[in-house]
Amino acid sequence: MHSGIYYPPGSLKARVCAQGARELAQYCEERQLPLHRPGKLLVPVRAQDASQLGLLESRAAAHGIAVQRIDRDTLGRMEPDVRSATGEALLVPNTAVVSPSAVLDAVSRECQDASVDIRCGGRLERVEPTCQRLTWAGVGLSYGHAINCAGAHADTVAHHFGAGRRYTLLPFRGAYWRLDPHSGIRLRHLIYPVPDLRVPFLGVHTTTSVTGDVYLGPTATPAFGRENYRGLQGITLTEAGRIAALLASQLIVGRDGFRRLAWQESARISKRGFGVAARALLPGLRIEHLLATDKVGIRAQLLDRTTGRLVMDFLVERGHSATHVLNAISPAFTSAFALARHLIDGYIEQRSLNEMVELER
Ligand SMILES: Cc1cc2nc3c(=O)[nH]c(=O)nc-3n(C[C@H](O)[C@H](O)[C@H](O)COP(=O)(O)OP(=O)(O)OC[C@H]3O[C@@H](n4cnc5c(N)ncnc54)[C@H](O)[C@@H]3O)c2cc1C
């Protein structure tokens, strides 16, 4: 769960992340779901990142999030296995870890207890927005108000509704390695590099799961399909061509640090290259300490076709009797409860939230 310190004041992320984190922690506490509060240490991996610590401190102050500047000696005592290019670090004590599957199971159970009809495994096939009808898994449904939260497919679903035409997905794959528990590296906190705030990725960091496993990652390498979790899985020629063209145009224009990101991330595709990035945080890490894992996700990153820029904030677009949650990238999981309330209050009239009605099979 992110604390919310990264996001510029006024952004939707800033408005919902810190509040969402508080609500999610409370939700887990009340239901006795796994919740650990190791806190996060942000360390500059390059001397020129030092000034970013001050910027992050001022953002934390603006959002009411407690942080503490840590000097070289204290960092050495707190985390002897961690390197900071300047010796300093920023401690975010409230950053916590939960179990997403435990949270989703609990939410799903409570929804069903409240008579919400949850259907899985189907695909939205057709939409007739003017008569508020859609076809899902061969079933015809009418809707009062449709809410599109289709993650890496949210742009195409929005296009079915005639919304979000200026946006398209540029998917990135986020892969992780597991730290060998016998590496001798001991971490008390989550360790993050000071990020490049021009791009929506936080860089290779450590995550200690609720079961105590330490993961290193994620990468942000281009995925050539929306479900391209590994190798050639989930790739179609048309989609791969579309993504390759978007990537090429981003590289040519080279805006917002995209070339540096591409150069950095292409090096991290190999285990050796990834090891170099991870060693910037953990100098004692050796390549054999990185164990293969199937933990991987697709970052559902949106690109604005009119500006040619990656969309940094969450984006919500209101259509005819429909609301489209576009660009639900990190920290949308952390923010979920607060973001949901923002959507209901700000975009959706309660009276239009009629139940879906099954029409035909
Ligand atoms: C590597 C990685 C690390 C991350 N780390 C963090 C983190 O530390 N903290 C954090 O807060 N967030 C993190 N995130 C972001 C977080 O995972 C997402 O913000 C969150 O999952 C978004 O939730 P969602 O419900 O909007 O979309 P999703 O979880 O993507 O769910 C979308 C759903 O829509 C369904 N769907 C799609 N298309 C259709 C269709 N046509 N018909 C029917 N169903 C459809 C899909 O099957 C899926 O079930 C991370 C993401 C990645 C990739």
| Average pLDDT over the chain, rounded to an integer | 93
Predicted local distance difference test score (pLDDT) of residue 357? 56
Predicted local distance difference test score (pLDDT) of residue 38? 95
Q: Is the dihedral of CA 197, 199, 204, 205 positive or negative?
A: positive
DSSP 53-82: HHHHHHHHHHTT---EEE-HHHHHHH-TT-
Whether 360 shows a pLDDT value over 70: the answer reads no
Q: What is the mean pLDDT of residues 28-49?
A: 96
Distance, in Å, from the CA atom of 59 to the CA atom of 15, rounded to the nearest integer, reads: 12
Whether 339 shows a pLDDT value over 80: the answer reads yes
Distance, in Å, from the CA atom of 85 to the CA atom of 175, rounded to the nearest integer, reads: 25
Question: Is 206 close to ligand 1, i.e. is its CB under 6 Å away?
Answer: no
Question: Is 330 close to ligand 1, i.e. is its CB under 6 Å away?
Answer: yes
User: Of 289, 334, 329, 55, which is closest to residue 202 (Cα–Cα)?
Assistant: 329
Whether 350 shows a pLDDT value over 80: the answer reads no
Comparing 195-209, 294-308, 322-336, the range with the smallest average pLDDT is 195-209
Write the single-letter amino acid at 11: S
Phi, psi at 141, each rounded to 5°: -130, 145
Candidate of 202, 221, 330 to mutate for ligand 1, largest count of ligand atoms within 8 Å of Cβ = 330
Atom of ligand 1 nearest to the CA of 334: 11
Ligand 1, atom 29: nearest CA belongs to which residue?
151
Candidate of 153, 324, 327 to mutate for ligand 1, largest count of ligand atoms within 8 Å of Cβ = 153
Whether 356 shows a pLDDT value over 70: the answer reads no
Confidence of residue 361 (pLDDT cuts 50, 70, 90): very low
Whether 51 shows a pLDDT value over 70: the answer reads yes
Distance 330 CA to ligand 1 centre (A): 9
Distance, in Å, from the CA atom of 87 to the CA atom of 81, rounded to the nearest integer, reads: 13
Atom of ligand 1 nearest to the CA of 329: 19
Candidate of 1, 108, 149 to mutate for ligand 1, largest count of ligand atoms within 8 Å of Cβ = 149
Q: What is the mean pLDDT of residues 313-334?
A: 94
Radius of gyration of the chain (CA): 21
Please check whether residue 140 is in contact with residue 133, taking contact to mean a CB–CB distance below 8 angstroms. yes
Whether 323 shows a pLDDT value over 70: the answer reads yes
Distance 147 CA to ligand 1 centre (A): 15
Q: What is the DSSP letter of 87?
A: S
Distance 151 CA to ligand 1 centre (A): 5
User: Of 315, 314, 313, 320, which is closest to residue 349 (Cα–Cα)?
Assistant: 320
Distance 298 CA to ligand 1 centre (A): 8
Q: What is the pLDDT of residues 270-299, one digit of tens each?
A: 999 999 999 999 999 999 999 999 999 999
Phi, psi at 162, each rounded to 5°: 80, 20
| Beta-bridge partners for 178 | 215, 291
The answer to whether the peptide bond before residue 218 is cis (omega within 30 degrees of 0) is yes
Confidence of residue 359 (pLDDT cuts 50, 70, 90): low
Q: Strands 40-43 and 190-193, how do they pair? A: parallel
Predicted local distance difference test score (pLDDT) of residue 200? 82
Domains of the chain, earliest start first: 40-93+172-299 (3.30.9.10)
Whether 320 shows a pLDDT value over 80: the answer reads yes
Distance 294 CA to ligand 1 centre (A): 17
Question: Is 149 close to ligand 1, i.e. is its CB under 6 Å away?
Answer: yes
Please check whether residue 215 is in contact with residue 178, taking contact to mean a CB–CB distance below 8 angstroms. yes
Question: What is the percent of the chain with per-residue pLDDT over 90, rounded to a whole number?
Answer: 86
Distance 149 CA to ligand 1 centre (A): 8
> Roughly what angle, to the nearest 10 degrees, separates helices 12-31 and 100-113?
80
Ligand 1, atom 43: nearest CA belongs to which residue?
123
Predicted local distance difference test score (pLDDT) of residue 221? 92
Q: What is the mean pLDDT of residues 303-325?
A: 94
Give the pair of three-digit tokens for residue 310: 């990656």
Q: What is the mean pLDDT of residues 141-156?
A: 95
Confidence of residue 199 (pLDDT cuts 50, 70, 90): confident
Distance, in Å, from the CA atom of 323 to the CA atom of 145, rounded to the nearest integer, reads: 8
Distance 337 CA to ligand 1 centre (A): 14
Predicted local distance difference test score (pLDDT) of residue 108? 98
128 Cβ contact partners less than 8 Å away, ≥ 6 residues apart: 134
Question: Is 20 close to ligand 1, i.e. is its CB under 6 Å away?
Answer: no
Atom of ligand 1 nearest to the CA of 174: 1
Q: What is the pLDDT of residues 233-275, one digit of tens each?
A: 999 999 999 999 999 999 998 888 889 888 888 889 999 999 9
Distance, in Å, from the CA atom of 223 to the CA atom of 241, rounded to the nearest integer, reads: 12
DSSP 292-323: EEEEEEEE--EEETTTTEE--S-EEEEETTEE
Predicted local distance difference test score (pLDDT) of residue 40? 97
- Secondary structure of 7-71 in the HEC alphabet? CCCCCHHHHHHHHHHHHHHHHHHHHCCCEECCCEEEECCCHHHHHHHHHHHHHHHHCCCCCEEEC
Whether 355 shows a pLDDT value over 70: the answer reads no
Distance, in Å, from the CA atom of 90 to the CA atom of 114, rounded to the nearest integer, reads: 43
Distance between first and last Cα of the chain: 41
Question: Is 151 close to ligand 1, i.e. is its CB under 6 Å away?
Answer: yes
Comparing 172-176, 197-201, 215-219, 224-228, the range with the smallest average pLDDT is 197-201
